[in-house]
Structure 1
Amino acid sequence: MGSASREALSVSRAALAALGGKATLATGEQLLAAGRVLGTSFQLRAALADPSGDPSDKLSVINAVFASVEQPARELLGVIATNAWSTEDEFLAGIEEIGIRALAESASSENIEAELFAFGAAVGSDAQLELAVGSKLGSDESKAALIERLLGSKASKQTVAIVSHLVQQPRGRRIAELLRFATTVVADEAGLAVATVTTASAISPAQLTRLVSALSVSYGRGLRINHVIDPTLVGGVRVQLGDEIIDGSVASRLNELRLQLA
C-alpha cells in the first residue's frame, strides 16, 4: 500500500473510532455495498479516488449517489473519499477495511474470527465449494445467495455480510487470501492478532492456554488462536502469525535433516 493510502486509511480508522461505538451492522453492510457499487462504476470510482479532486465535489457526489445510506456510513464514505489514495484499488480496499471494522465493532459476543476460519477450512477441504465461491462466472447475486445458504443459520450476520462481500468483490484475490485478510482486520479491531497453531494431534485446553500465554508475551499483544490438527506434522508445533511462521514440527526437522544429508 502506498504512503498516501496508508495515511488515508489511518484517518479513516480514526473517523470510525470517533463514532464512539455507534457503528451498527447496517453501517458495515452499507459501506461494503457502496464499495461494490464503486467497484462496478469506473466513472464514479475515478471521480472519488482522484487525489486532485475537490473534496466538496466528492461529498456532493456521495450525498447524491448514496442518499439512502444512513448517516454514519455516509459520513465515513465522505472521510474515505476526501482523503488521497495512491490508487483506485487501494481506495476500494480502504472502504472494504473500514466496512469490515464497522461490522466487527457492531458485534457483541460473536467470535467472527472463528467463524471466518471455520468457513475457510470448509472451503479449503472442498474443491467444488472453493470453485463455486471463487468462480468468475457466477453472478454476484448467485454468490450472495450461496453464502446465505451456507452460513445464514450457522454464523453471525456480521460474518455472513463479510463473506458475502468478499466473494462478490474479490479484486483478484483467492478465497483463502480474502478470508485471512478479513480475519486479521476483525482481530485487529479488537486489539488482537490471529495465530494459527497446528499440531499433529489434539492437545489439552491447559496446554493450549499455556501456548497462547507464551505467544502473547512474545508478540506483545493478545491473540486469537485457531487450532488445526495435521497428523503429517508427526509431532511438535507449527505457529503462523501473519506472514511469520515458527515451525517446530518433527516433519520440518526431518525434512531439514534430509536436505543436509542430500
Structure 2
Amino acid sequence: MGSATTQALAASIQTLAAAKDVTLDTARELFAAARAVTESSQLSGALADPAAPAVARQNVVAAVFGGFSQGAQSVLKTVVAERWSKASELVDGIEELAIRAAAIADPQADIGGELFGFSRVIAANAELELALGSRLGGEDAKGALVEKLLAGGVSDAAALIVSSLVRQPRDRRVRQMLNRATRIVASQGDRVVATVHSATPLTDAQRTRLSAALSRRYEGTVSLNEVSDPAVVGGLRVQIADDVIDGSISARLADLRQKLAG
C-alpha cells in the first residue's frame, strides 16, 4: 500500500467514523459502489484520476451514486477527493469502508468470530471452496448461495460482508477475502486478531491467560480465533498478522532435528 493510499484511507475512515446513522444499508451501498467501480474502467478512471480536480471527481459521485443515502455519498466524496496510489487501491478502500460500516452498524455482534467460523467451514469443505472460487457461474448466484448457507446462523452484518465479497472477488481466494475482512472488523473494534492452533480446544482458563498475555505484548485487546490442529502435537502456535509464536512440541522437534542434521 502506497503512502498516498495510506493517507487517503485514514481520512476516509475518519469521515465514516464521524457519519451519523451508519446502518447496514450504508454498508450495502458502499459495497455496491465498490462493485460498480470495479466493473467500469471508465468510472474507476474518472474517480481515481489525480489530474482531475477533487470537485470534479466528487461531482461524478453525485451523478452516479445520487440515489444513495447522504452518509454513503459523504464517505464516497471523501474517498474520491483523496489521492490513491492506484485505482485498484481506491476500490480496496471503498470495500474496507463497507466492511467497517457493517461492523459499526451492528456493534454487539461477534462479526469477526462469525467470519472466521465461516472461513473454517470453507477450509473443511473443498467442494464449497471450489464452488465459491470457481470462475464458472455468476457472482450473484454465489452470493445467493452464501446467503442461503448463512441464513439465521450469523448476524446480518456478517452475512452481508460474506455475500458481498463473493460477488466481487477480483481474483482473490475466498479465504483470503474473509481473513482480510476479519482483520478489518477487529481493527474497527480496536482489537488485534490472534489465530491459535492447538491439538485440543483451549480451556476457559487457558484462553483467559493467553488473551491477557497477548494483550500485554501487543498493547491492545486481542481476539482469539481457535483452530484445532492435530499436527501441533502439544503446546500452541499463535499467529498475529505476520508474527508467529510457535511453542508447539512439533516445532521444537523440528528445530532439534535441524540442529542435529546441521
TM beyond 0.5:
yes
Aligned match of 2:187: 188
The CA deviation at 1:181 is: 0.5
Aligned match of 2:6: 6
Letter in 1 for 2:177: L
Give the Cα separation in 1 of the matches to 2:147 and 2:163.
Answer: 8
**Displaced runs of 4+ in structure 1, greater than 4 A?**
none
Letter in 2 for 1:216: S
Aligned match of 1:110: 109
The CA deviation at 1:106 is: 0.6
Q: Aligned with 1:45: secondary structure?
A: helix
Letter in 1 for 2:203: S
Q: Aligned with 2:16: secondary structure?
A: helix
Give the Cα separation in 2 of the matches to 1:89 and 1:125.
Answer: 31
Letter in 2 for 1:44: L
Aligned match of 1:167: 166
Unaligned runs of 5+ in 2: none
Aligned match of 1:15: 15
Asked if 1:152 is matched to 2:151, the reply is yes
The CA deviation at 1:232 is: 1.6
Aligned match of 2:240: 241
**Residues 13-42 of structure 1: CA deviation (Å, up to 9, x unaligned):** 11111115x211111110011100110001
Give the Cα separation in 1 of the matches to 2:222 and 2:82.
Answer: 32
The CA deviation at 1:11 is: 0.5
Give the Cα separation in 2 of the matches to 1:203 and 1:12.
Answer: 39
Identity %: 44
After superposing the two structures, state which structure 1 stretch, 114-123 or 64-73, moved more: 64-73
The CA deviation at 1:260 is: 2.0
The CA deviation at 1:261 is: 2.2
The number of residues matched between the two structures is 261
**Residues 67-124 of structure 1: CA deviation (Å, up to 9, x unaligned):** 2111100110110011110101000001011111111111131100110001000001
Asked if 1:252 is matched to 2:251, the reply is yes
Q: Aligned with 2:237: secondary structure?
A: strand
Aligned pairs (5 A) from 1:76-91: 76-91=75-90
Q: Aligned with 1:240: secondary structure?
A: strand
Give the Cα separation in 2 of the matches to 1:211 and 1:143.
Answer: 37
> How well do the aligned residues superpose, as a CA RMSD in angstroms?
1.1
Aligned match of 1:135: 134
Aligned match of 2:202: 203
TM-score where L is the length of structure 2: 0.97
Aligned match of 2:43: 44
The CA deviation at 1:202 is: 2.3
Give the Cα separation in 1 of the matches to 2:107 and 2:186.
Answer: 14
Q: Aligned with 1:84: secondary structure?
A: coil
Aligned match of 2:118: 119
Give the Cα separation in 2 of the matches to 1:213 and 1:194.
Answer: 13
Give the Cα separation in 2 of the matches to 1:151 and 1:51.
Answer: 41
Give the Cα separation in 2 of the matches to 1:202 and 1:140.
Answer: 36
Letter in 1 for 2:217: S
Q: Aligned with 1:209: secondary structure?
A: helix
Q: Aligned with 2:234: secondary structure?
A: coil
